[in-house]
Amino acid sequence: ITASHTVIPEESTPQGRLWLSDIDQVVRLRHTPTLYVYKPKQNTEKAIETLKNSLSKILVHYYPVAGRVCYTEGARLELNLNAKGAILLEAETEKTIHDYGDFSPSDSTKELVPTIDYNEPIEEIPIFVVQLTRSH
């Protein structure tokens, strides 16, 4: 990881709290890793700025993912619509796309998706984390 950016919604968004469903109360909170691979069409420095700007714009419409999960006084999980933002990570690797083979889950492909520290207080863990990994 070479840089980390907190990206907040471009405009103010609704504030408040949303209760999570009963199933959300019993399922362990985890992020879903998803990997997309693209051939670069532009300078990757410009790609980071493009991602920051577009993420900031889309968070206006999808503002819940800019919030944080928290507990109520009754120990029920809910979503705090506090616009703390999504996280955009920049990373670099010496590997080429061919070094990852068929992209089956492995220690090698794990470096291509964000690592979330679930030891942090739940109120500090971002809901949405994106990583752009540059290959040399």
Over residues 81-114, the pLDDT tens digits come to 999 999 999 999 999 888 998 888 888 899 999 9
The confidence score (pLDDT) of residue 53 equals 98
Q: Provide the CATH number for the domain around residue 59.
A: 3.30.559.10
For residue 1, the SS3 value is coil
Tens-digit pLDDT string for the chain (136 aa): 999 999 999 999 999 999 999 999 998 889 999 999 888 776 767 889 999 999 999 999 999 999 999 999 889 999 999 999 999 999 999 998 889 988 888 888 999 999 999 999 999 999 999 999 998 7
For residue 62, the SS3 value is coil
CA 3 from chain centre, in angstroms, equals 14
| Domain residue limits at 94 | 3-29+50-135
For residue 46, the SS3 value is helix
The confidence score (pLDDT) of residue 51 equals 95
Q: Which amino acid is residue 92, in one-letter code?
A: E
Is 35 part of any domain? no
In eight-state DSSP terms, residue 49 is H
The confidence score (pLDDT) of residue 58 equals 98
The confidence score (pLDDT) of residue 88 equals 98
For residue 94 the two structure tokens come to: 């010496």
In eight-state DSSP terms, residue 10 is S
- Tell me the CB-side half-sphere exposure of residue 92, using CA atoms within 13 A: 6
Is 57 part of any domain? yes
Contacts of residue 133, defined as CB under 8 A and 6 or more positions apart, other chains included, come to 91, 92, 93, 111, 112
Is 36 part of any domain? no
Contacts of residue 71, defined as CB under 8 A and 6 or more positions apart, other chains included, come to 77, 78, 122
User: Could you tell me the pTM of the whole model?
Assistant: 0.91
Tally of structural domains, the chain: 1
Is 117 part of any domain? yes
Is 15 part of any domain? yes
The confidence score (pLDDT) of residue 29 equals 85
Is 97 part of any domain? yes
Label the pairing between strands 3-7 and 86-93.
antiparallel
Is 40 part of any domain? no
Is 43 part of any domain? no
- How many angstroms separate the Cα of 19 from the Cα of each of 80, 112, 125, 126? 9, 32, 17, 17
